[in-house]
Structure 1
Amino acid sequence: MRNFAIIAHRGASAVCPENTMSAFERCLELGATGIETDVQMTSDGRLVLIHDETLSRTAAAEGWIKDITYDQLRTYDAGAWFHADFAEERIPSLEDLFRLVQGKGTLLNLELKNGIVSYKGMEEKIVQAIRDWKLEQQVVLSSFNHASLVRCKRLAPEIRTALLYMEKLYRPYDYAVKLEASGLHPYKLAVTHEDVAAALAHGVVTYPFTVNDPAEMQAMIDTGVQGIITDVPDVLASLINVPAR
């Protein structure tokens, strides 16, 4: 299936600690054509890749990302919670990921995690970083904070945005067009064949999340989606690369 996006959710998060360089490197080996990751901001304004606003779940430490400097953050172990083999993994910076994919053509789905913490200046910083690395054509900015995505679009019309949402929306493609978004990233249970087809007719692609079961993957493919966000990119790659009978 040509041009179907295999987007690794937090990297190869089924076999590596999520949002670490090991997870990002491994997912490319497993057939991912894109990487989804979460962006937070340290107290000194550095953009870092971690899902939670706090350190407790994946770094076994107390505190909020917003209250910690980048140098402090780099001292925490972000891998041992997953398995001893990954001890001493660090929380990556956005630049670490950019360095990995530069020249590879890998799609980067950067989710702005600014719904709980309103990171002042995050949109400006991420747009500037994308431009500095000349990755405008490789990046899609997504968020549940749709106002933030509108701000990103006003700052950088050339960078794609995608709307994350959990529940079924009425004519989500109309909403996407109004917000100048080029993508819809719905929770898998909010996907319908009619919405996917109508979105594509409006120039809007649909990438559901987080789809790990092969039967669910096939059901999503059958609705006509243009890509899938998954923890198991190798499973999805094997499914879409099976020759048609």
Structure 2
Amino acid sequence: MNLEVVAHRGFSAMAPENTIAAFSAAIKGGANSIEFDLQLSRDGVPIIFHDETLDRITGTAGRVREKSLQELKQLNAGGWFAEQFVGETIPTLAEALGCFKQVQKFLYFDVKPHCQWSQTEIEGLIQQVTEAEILEKCVITAFNEEFLEQVRACCPEIKLGYFLIEATDYPQQLHKATTAGNAILSSLFDVVLENPHFVEDSRSQGVDWVVWTVDRPEHFQELIELGVKRIITNSLIGWT
């Protein structure tokens, strides 16, 4: 089996999540793919950051969406992790493209529901990844499925990811993925471990899986034995 190890927010066990340092560490560590979080600054610039608020990562109060890029760039996005990362800033998507072009397999965009994207902003995102020649690597996931529909309407060839959090949602989410075409299911790993028949059932309908977030070797091995090929991890990069 051709296993795909996906670095969660970059190599986030070794460097502060969603930073250039974490993405560089993932590539150096041998990750096949990278997962990261995307949202917009107040002035509509795609930036890579997970939380709706700035407190946990930067120690600064406020919502990301209410800050301009200039304001966000003044914040320390690495010092919370270790002193050596004090200089890390919140990266824009444009700044991360240098790392992302080096990724072997896929880039999993987790587009956060904290902000609404205009049609122009979605078109700008598609244009950015197209011009960077990484469109074929992109998998766009989002809890906001209206956003996914807008992305697909703008770019029919891009791959989409539908989230699965509860096993009871499987029929509905699988239907959405099969209807959309060129789509995968992105699931909590324990949902798959508890319902192993989901894997082959969905694959028989042309829908693959990526599972998250796996940081214990025994879970990693169990998932491999079930035939799961795409595994998101904070810490098991390079593990076999």
Does the TM-score normalized on the shorter chain lie above 0.5? yes
The aligned counterpart of 2:170 is 170
Matches within 5 A, 1:3-152: 4-102=3-101, 104-114=103-113, 116-121=114-119, 122-152=121-151
Residues 104 and 227 (structure 1), Cα distance of their counterparts in 2 relative to 1, 3 Å cut: closer
Percentage of matched positions with identical amino acids: 29
Q: C-alpha separation between the residues in 2 aligned to 1:35 and 1:97?
A: 11
TM-score by length of 2: 0.92
Alpha-carbon distance, 1:106 to partner: 4.2
Q: C-alpha separation between the residues in 2 aligned to 1:187 and 1:11?
A: 18
Selected match of 1:222 from 220, 225, 228: 225
The one-letter code sitting in structure 2 at the alignment partner of 1:205 is D
Q: C-alpha separation between the residues in 1 aligned to 2:55 and 2:163?
A: 25
The aligned counterpart of 1:189 is 190
Structure 1, gaps ≥5 residues long: 240-245
The one-letter code sitting in structure 2 at the alignment partner of 1:19 is N
Q: C-alpha separation between the residues in 1 aligned to 2:148 and 2:105?
A: 21
- The count of aligned residue pairs is 235
Given that 1:12 and 1:233 are in contact with CA atoms closer than 8 Å, whether structure 2 keeps it comes out as no
Q: C-alpha separation between the residues in 2 aligned to 1:103 and 1:222?
A: 29
Given that 1:79 and 1:90 are in contact with CA atoms closer than 8 Å, whether structure 2 keeps it comes out as yes
The aligned counterpart of 1:243 is none
The aligned counterpart of 2:201 is 198
Alpha-carbon distance, 1:38 to partner: 0.2
Q: C-alpha separation between the residues in 1 aligned to 2:146 and 2:154?
A: 13
The aligned counterpart of 2:153 is 154
Q: C-alpha separation between the residues in 2 aligned to 1:123 and 1:225?
A: 31
Alpha-carbon distance, 1:152 to partner: 0.8
Deviations 1:185-207 (A, max 9, x none): 11112213211112212221101
Give 3-state SS (helix, strand or coil) of 2:94's partner.
Answer: helix
Alpha-carbon distance, 1:89 to partner: 0.5
Structure 2, gaps ≥5 residues long: none
Alpha-carbon distance, 1:109 to partner: 0.6
The one-letter code sitting in structure 1 at the alignment partner of 2:118 is K
